[in-house]
Amino acid sequence: MAGKEHFEKLLELLEMERVAEKKENLRELKRFPLATREALGKTVTGLLIESIGSGLGGMPLVTLSRQPKGEELSPFHAMGAGDNALLTFPMGSEPAALEGTLYKVDEYQATIALNSPEPSKLNRGLCQVDLLGSDATYRRMKKALATASDARKNRTAALREVFLGETAPDRRRARKVHFFNESLNEFQKEAVKRCLAATDTALVHGPPGTGKTTVLVEIIRQAAAAGERVLATAPSNIAVDNILEKLQGSGLRLVRLGHPARTLESLRHANLSKLVEADPSYGEVQELDAWRDRLAKRGSRHGRGQFGYDEKQQRDREIAKLWRQARDLEGEISRRIVASAHVVLSTHGGLSRNLVRNRFDLVALDEASQATEPLSWVPLTMGDRAVFAGDAMQLPPTIYSKEAADKGLATTLFDRLKDILPDNLQTLLRVQYRMHEDIMRFSSEQFYHGKLIADESVRKHTAAELPGVEANDLTSVPLTFVDTAGAGFSESWNELLESRENLGEAKLALRLMERILASGLDPRKMAIIAPYVAQVKLLKTMAKIPGLEIGSVDGFQGREKEVTIVSLVRNNETGEVGFLSDVRRMNVAMTRARRLLIVIGDSATIGCHPFYAKFIDYTDAREAHRSSYEWPES
């Protein structure tokens, strides 16, 4: 497909995806009554305003709270810092609602950073918060695709031709590298050298626990030391923060873009808003904001409590003018800080041309296999060459439109480049530093041609070797498959969540958890994960252990725990495994554990799929196949 046609096709698929996501959000609003949305954590009502203040960059902060009502979960259980939200004010307030970003979330209290000034008129009463989606990222993707498609005789055009397979990638002579991180293994060092030698692009394949982000950080430091400006991006905020954390102490000027609420609190000192606030010129912004605040609180100059219509209109125009002046000045300071940075860090979707106006010598994309091609083009249009780090054998991007996915949106740039680039521009990281070799080996054999090597520091470690943990039949082994065949743990369909759950498996998972915790394991070192959101919700309502994490497989990608219990859920007479057939999801699930992996499943059901049949054989060979009858309900 010619370049122009390729990007036109992507624009069509992107619009299909935008419509599908919006339909899903609207479907939830229409399908779920208010009480249901509250139960799911999509809406919180009955909130009182505790305070209205200002945060980084002078953003208005509204803090809301609600008294506990005896519910099993906190009202904000499904909300987190960084989520987009709509705040609806009491009746009669002006305006009636404002969009913002959740800045801080506790059990019964939340702070929202508003995207615009606080209400000019605020009545007494109760507020409501609803989770929102946003079209901003779609607009940026469309603009990036147009830029890439129309590029002529520049670096964006050169990258486009390489990525579409129209021209061969160039490679310069490799220079001698003095590594900042001397502890890198031979495969990691080779990856750094190949990426630094790439004129156009190179790939780093990072299976679980092999340190691909560590490699990317070394590449970034090497490029910056050579006088290059670097843009480091990833699809998720947590992945960006991982890069930022590893760059701390490097001596480089680092600027983290994005809302402060989406940055880990320990790293907010590098957030652009914090750096703007520390700038000497920021005092003028504060003066404008203070002037606006005084004007907003001032009464009628005629001595009456109420403004006349014309007087109110004039005051509101002055308030809006002061707001714009302050934000314009803030923008000037922001652009100056970004332009002076050695390394700028951001999510792909969080990049704005209003802030980033100068090109970068290198764009380093982490978790590249989790970003759709349109999303990847947002940072790529800002740089001269690119390095991708990812793993095509782990979870792909989340896509709402099945039709768009089937027609090509599910194919990432990382997917295409691994088939295009020559071997000397790709590196497979082979030494992993997370898992016991018995946990690692099945994944290695199924996804990485048996090439992974467990580092000596983790090769034989077990949970029983952790301080204060007693050895028992679970903690002293690295792997256990608990077979529920014959136990009658049938799956069920949750109509509300449109997802599957398995009460018998959930109860068994908690019995296993209790046995492990009784051995002395810190709950914070353990997780229970499941591929189905209904099972996750069920487990969360049943388990009340402080520090214990329960979540979806998708939500745990890129993370690890000393011990993980995986509930596969599926148990039916027809051997249907549903979306468990996407075995990349299981590659993620089975590689989160460092010392102990417990998988719960019905062999009669999952054994109908060749991947799971091989897993059962693998556990049989290691005498790790046990029956749920060994842990009966008391």
Contact between 373 and 398 under an 8 Å Cβ cutoff? The reply is no
Contact between 604 and 574 under an 8 Å Cβ cutoff? The reply is no
Check whether 63 has a pLDDT greater than 70.
yes
Provide the pLDDT for residue 403: 97
Per-chain mean pLDDT for the chain? 91
CB-based burial label for 368 (10 Å; 0-12, 13-18, 19+): buried
Tell me the pLDDT tens digit for each residue of 320-358.
888 889 889 989 999 999 999 999 999 999 898 888 888
Contact between 526 and 563 under an 8 Å Cβ cutoff? The reply is yes
Check whether 362 has a pLDDT greater than 90.
yes
User: 509: which 2 tokens?
Assistant: 């998972």
Q: What is the dihedral of CA 414, 415, 419, 423, to 10 degrees?
A: 40
Q: What is the dihedral of CA 554, 558, 559, 565, to 10 degrees?
A: 40
Provide the pLDDT for residue 354: 82
**Residue 112 bridge partners (DSSP):** 62, 102
Among 32-46, 176-190, 193-207, the least confident range: 32-46
Check whether 307 has a pLDDT greater than 70.
no
Measured in whole angstroms, the distance separating CA 368 from the mean position of its chain's CA atoms is: 12
Would you call 257 helix, strand, or coil by DSSP? coil
Among 23-37, 178-192, 377-391, 425-439, the least confident range: 23-37
Provide the pLDDT for residue 59: 79
What residue spans of 167-281 are helical by DSSP H?
Answer: 186-197, 212-225, 237-247, 272-278
Provide the pLDDT for residue 29: 66
Could you tell me whether strands 254-256 and 84-88 are parallel, antiparallel, or unpaired per DSSP bridges?
Answer: unpaired
Task: Tell which wins on pLDDT, 497 or 361.
Answer: 361
H or E element, residue 162 = helix 155-163
Neighbours of 329 (CB within 10 A): 17
pLDDT interval class at 133 (50, 70, 90): low
Check whether 7 has a pLDDT greater than 50.
yes
Task: For the chain, state the CA radius of gyration.
Answer: 26
Provide the pLDDT for residue 2: 62
Name the percent of the chain lying above pLDDT 70.
Answer: 97
Tell me the pLDDT tens digit for each residue of 572-617.
999 999 999 999 999 999 999 999 999 999 999 999 999 999 999 9
User: Shortest CA distance to 194 belongs to which of 227, 218, 230, 165?
Assistant: 218
Contact between 141 and 10 under an 8 Å Cβ cutoff? The reply is no
Task: Tell which wins on pLDDT, 479 or 265.
Answer: 479
Provide the pLDDT for residue 158: 96
- Long-range contacts formed by 16-24: CB under 8 A, 24+ apart: 16/401, 16/403, 16/404, 16/409, 17/372, 17/399, 17/400, 17/401, 17/404, 17/409, 18/135, 18/138, 19/401, 20/400, 20/401, 20/404, 21/133, 21/400, 21/401, 22/133, 24/400
Provide the pLDDT for residue 306: 60
Could you tell me whether strands 383-390 and 426-428 are parallel, antiparallel, or unpaired per DSSP bridges?
Answer: unpaired
DSSP assignments along 6-52, one per residue? HHHHHHHHHHHHHHHHHHHHHHHHHHS-HHHHHHHTSEEEEEEEEEE
Provide the pLDDT for residue 522: 97
Provide the pLDDT for residue 27: 77
CB-based burial label for 91 (10 Å; 0-12, 13-18, 19+): exposed
Tell me the pLDDT tens digit for each residue of 373-412.
999 999 999 999 999 999 999 999 999 999 999 999 999 9
Would you call 63 helix, strand, or coil by DSSP? strand
Give the side-chain half-sphere CA count within 13 A for 182. 1
Contact between 156 and 383 under an 8 Å Cβ cutoff? The reply is no
**Listed ranges 51-65, 86-100, 122-136; the one with the highest mean pLDDT:** 86-100
What residue spans of 476-609 are helical by DSSP H?
Answer: 503-518, 533-542, 583-589, 603-606
**Residue 563 bridge partners (DSSP):** 526, 596
Neighbours of 125 (CB within 10 A): 12
**Residue 565 bridge partners (DSSP):** 528, 598
Provide the pLDDT for residue 57: 66
| DSSP letter, residue 408 | I
Provide the pLDDT for residue 240: 96
Provide the pLDDT for residue 441: 98
Check whether 305 has a pLDDT greater than 60.
no
| DSSP letter, residue 130 | E
Q: Percent helix, strand, coil in the chain (nearest 5)?
A: 45, 20, 35
pLDDT interval class at 300 (50, 70, 90): very low
- For residue 422, whether the previous peptide bond is cis, meaning omega lies within 30 degrees of 0, is no
Check whether 30 has a pLDDT greater than 80.
no
Measured in whole angstroms, the distance separating CA 161 from the mean position of its chain's CA atoms is: 30
Q: Which residue has the tokens 């409590």?
A: 305
